[in-house]
Amino acid sequence: MDLVYLDNAATTPLDERVLSAMLPHLGGLRGNPSSLHAAGASAREAVEAARGSVAALVGASPHEVFFTSGGTEADNLALLGLARSARPEKRHAVVSKVEHAAVREAAKYLEKSGFEITWLGVDGYGTVDPEKLESSLRDDTAFAAVMWANNEVGTLQPVRKLAEVCAERGIPLHCDAVQAAGREDIDAGEVPVSTLALSAHKLYGPQGVGALYVRDGGEVCPILFGGGQEGGLRSGTEDVAGIAGFGEAARLAREEMTGRTSHEAALRDRIIAGTTELPGVRLNGHPERRLSNNVHLTVDGVEAEGLVLVLDALGYAVGKGSACSSAGHKASPVLEAMGQGEREAFSAVRVSIGKDNAPEEVEGFIEAFAGCVERLRELSPVRTEAGIS
Ligand code: PLP
């Protein structure tokens, strides 16, 4: 049975063309990009070519892109690095309540270290209000952090407005663009964000590689110390193969973005229509301002884990809709911030489409989904409580 993969927000399959770009750097003689000899120079060339492609994807200059081990490290580097580079009297930051754990946990760490964090709420769609951001900024605010697109419910934030609000006050805005890159038109030349986190494996590149964009002249202190690679911001010998793959993935994402997103959006809308016509199935996140590939559903009377496993047994891979915190079995803060209760959070699934999904797969999924929901509701003790008949 072929697996129909509908969990592209978790990770995307490695594009064959990306793999081909990585292979020359995986076997045989591999130089260290910092070495002076020809093998080193060839590795350096691959890293710099990739830097150019990643920069082009987000409208940046190559010297504003710093490779990391992924989106998590890029987010940590941004938050801790912005906090450490701020003047000593600036000990306050504003962070949205719907951030990915990589931002949220870094902010909590800062909170424990004496920083004051204002946790910025969202509306029922998960959207941050620029006016609320503006009123939470203070003279001692070191930075703010609001993501471009939410990884759970897919809602897009009004990033341009948010960035302008911060820029007017001279406060850096960190934006986690891990889910948005390759799907949204990101132009750092136009939108005055200070830093952007990116990750290769969300755009058909390898896992374990990412980048932080830092606007020219922006001050971010390193969090890793060593040989001074990546302009001193991220010490450690570069993952040349991974970076070469990221570069190729970014190049392809830029070139193919329009076709990919319209293909995804058509499948997304078909899934939304086909699933929400069932009783007790609702779409979460913004109905229009959402990622082209994200469908996030609450399925009343059904426990998400069970639904994911039953669908998996039928050959459909989807994600649980509420990323649990690792410490204990609590629903993610994202749905909570949107005003949903724990019961709803545990009944949420995320279906995320990719560029290679076919319309027939989506039709098969809709049928399988309807059958699974019906069966699970018949078995579920919460069925009557949820009022499903
Ligand atoms: N930020 C967002 C919005 C994400 O969706 C993810 C991954 O799920 C990350 C950060 C972390 O990226 P990585 O898996 O590359 O560490």
Give the mean pLDDT of 350-358. 98
102 Cβ inside 6 Å of ligand 1: yes
Q: Which atom of ligand 1 is nearest to the CA of 11?
A: 8
157 Cβ inside 6 Å of ligand 1: no
70 Cβ inside 6 Å of ligand 1: yes
Determine how many CB atoms are found less than 10 A away from the CB of residue 91. Answer: 16
Model confidence pLDDT, tens digit, residues 156-194: 999 999 999 999 999 999 999 999 999 999 999 999 999
* 242 pLDDT higher than 80: yes
* 62 pLDDT higher than 50: yes
Question: Which sign, positive or negative, has the C-alpha torsion 209, 194, 322, 257?
Answer: negative
H helices within the chain, ranges in order?
A: 16-22, 38-57, 71-85, 101-112, 130-136, 159-168, 240-276, 304-313, 333-337, 342-345, 359-379
Residue 124 exposure: Cα atoms within 13 Å on the Cβ side: 4
Give the mean pLDDT of 297-317. 96
Give the mean pLDDT of 232-260. 98
CA angle 161, 187, 243 (to 5 degrees): 130
Band the pLDDT of 329: cuts 50, 70, 90: low
96 Cβ inside 6 Å of ligand 1: no
Residue 76 exposure: Cα atoms within 13 Å on the Cβ side: 15
Q: In Å, what is the CA distance from 105 to each residue of 95, 160, 271?
A: 11, 25, 33
Helix 240-276 and helix 359-379: axis angle, to 10°?
A: 60
pLDDT at 384: 46
Q: Which residues contact 53 (CB under 8 A, 6 or more apart)?
A: 247, 248, 250, 251, 254
Pocket test residue of 54, 69, 72, 334 for ligand 1, highest count of atoms within 8 A of CB: 72
End-to-end CA distance of the chain: 33
Residue nearest to ligand 1 atom 14, measured at CA? 71
Ligand 1 centre to CA of 321 (Å) is 15
12 Cβ inside 6 Å of ligand 1: no
Amino acid identity of residue 157, one-letter, is Q
Give the mean pLDDT of 246-274. 98
pLDDT at 57: 98
pLDDT at 389: 42
Band the pLDDT of 326: cuts 50, 70, 90: very low
pLDDT at 388: 45
Mean pLDDT (the chain) is: 95
Pocket test residue of 54, 179, 204, 207 for ligand 1, highest count of atoms within 8 A of CB: 179
Distance, in Å, from the CA atom of 327 to the CA atom of 325, rounded to the nearest integer, reads 5
Model confidence pLDDT, tens digit, residues 85-132: 999 999 999 999 999 999 999 999 999 999 999 999 999 999 999 999
Band the pLDDT of 343: cuts 50, 70, 90: confident
- What is the bridge-based pairing of β-strands 173-176 and 141-145? parallel
* 138 pLDDT higher than 70: yes
Distance, in Å, from the CA atom of 81 to the CA atom of 74, rounded to the nearest integer, reads 10
Q: Which residues contact 84 (CB under 8 A, 6 or more apart)?
A: 221, 223
7 Cβ inside 6 Å of ligand 1: no
Band the pLDDT of 328: cuts 50, 70, 90: low
Band the pLDDT of 342: cuts 50, 70, 90: confident
Q: Which atom of ligand 1 is nearest to the CA of 207?
A: 15
Band the pLDDT of 332: cuts 50, 70, 90: confident
Range scoring the smallest mean pLDDT among 228-237, 290-299, 332-341, 347-356: 332-341
- For the entire predicted model, the pTM comes to 0.96
Ligand 1 centre to CA of 327 (Å) is 18
Band the pLDDT of 387: cuts 50, 70, 90: very low
Band the pLDDT of 290: cuts 50, 70, 90: very high
Ligand 1 centre to CA of 107 (Å) is 15
* 331 pLDDT higher than 80: no
Residue nearest to ligand 1 atom 10, measured at CA? 71
Ligand 1 centre to CA of 207 (Å) is 10
Model confidence pLDDT, tens digit, residues 254-264: 999 999 999 99
106 Cβ inside 6 Å of ligand 1: no
* 208 pLDDT higher than 50: yes
* 380 pLDDT higher than 90: no
